[in-house]
Amino acid sequence: MTAGGAPRPAEAADRSSRTIRLAVWGPTSAGKTVLLAKLFLDAPDGEWKIFTTDQSKKFARQMRELMKSKNRFPKATDGTETVEYRLLHRATGREALLRLEDRPGSESDVLSEPMRRQLREAEGLVLVLDPMANPDILENKLWNTLEDVHVTTAAGAPLDSRPVAVCISKADVLIESAADLRLATKEPGEFFRRQPALHGLDRPLKYLCSNYSYFPVSATGLRLRYGVIEPVVFYDEALEPRLGPGGQSFNLMRPFAWLLDQIPA
């Protein structure tokens, strides 16, 4: 190891990526596909650098054409899409291979056996929850899912100890001021606590999981001009949602970086 913690060339050559098995769950229209697409397309210049693999080049190109060139949202997922990203930590040189499956929302609403197996075998969970959904229905779906995929330790501890990143998707709809935006990006836990309509989500998580954290996330983003928040999503003449220019997404990588910090290298 060289001064400053950077790996020597020989060490870098010996290091290989470990596949991190994460599973993404969210009800229909929660924004799973948009989040996975923008995670690469709008990759922040942060501590982790993101690359596509051969497995995901087609997905990334389709999403770039659709969302960047045509300013359209992807249609609802009607089949299973395996999304794979290679991540490199800029400071430590740690590498990880994230493999996630984007499944139709219908499989999430009523857990299919493949979806249940994927969630149970994952090392960490990414829950994508729409804050505009009916809070009672959303809480009930979360209870059912966490009960179905609950994994106890070999010692029989009652709580699932796997890390769970709870993404409050479409969080731009909850942002009304520059102060809200600062809170969402700097203190995401406090931002969640100030959303009383979502507090019911904490009940099943607290009851069944021992390690979870909340992340307000916006894949579409918003504009901040002269201290004023401006939405970027608008509806065209066919009443279809479109992406306007200048939107700045936020917290896209943060839940995944947190999970990687929780999972042993």
Q: DSSP code of 184?
A: H
d(CA 146, CA 152): 12
The CA-to-CA distance between both ends of the chain, in Å, stands at 17
pLDDT tens digits along 10-22: 333 344 578 888 8
Query: What is the model's pLDDT at position 14?
Result: 40
Query: What is the model's pLDDT at position 105?
Result: 66
In the chain, which stretches have pLDDT less than 50? 1-15
Written as one string, the DSSP assignment of 1-51 is --GGGPPPHHHHHH---EEEEEEEE--TTSSHHHHHHHHHHT--SSSEEEE
Give the total number of structural domains in the chain: 1
Query: What is the model's pLDDT at position 156?
Result: 59
Q: What is the CATH number of the domain that holds 58?
A: 3.40.50.300
Residues 169 and 26 sit within 8 Å (Cβ to Cβ): yes
Backbone angles phi, psi at 71, to 5 degrees: 55, 40
pLDDT tens digits along 165-216: 999 999 999 999 999 999 999 999 999 999 999 999 999 999 999 999 999 9
Beta-strand runs (E) in the chain:
18-25, 48-52, 81-89, 95-102, 124-129, 164-168, 212-216, 218-225, 228-231, 233-235, 241-243, 248-250
Query: What is the model's pLDDT at position 3?
Result: 39
Write out the residue range of the structural domain in which residue 154 sits.
3-262
Query: What is the model's pLDDT at position 73?
Result: 84
Query: What is the model's pLDDT at position 10?
Result: 36
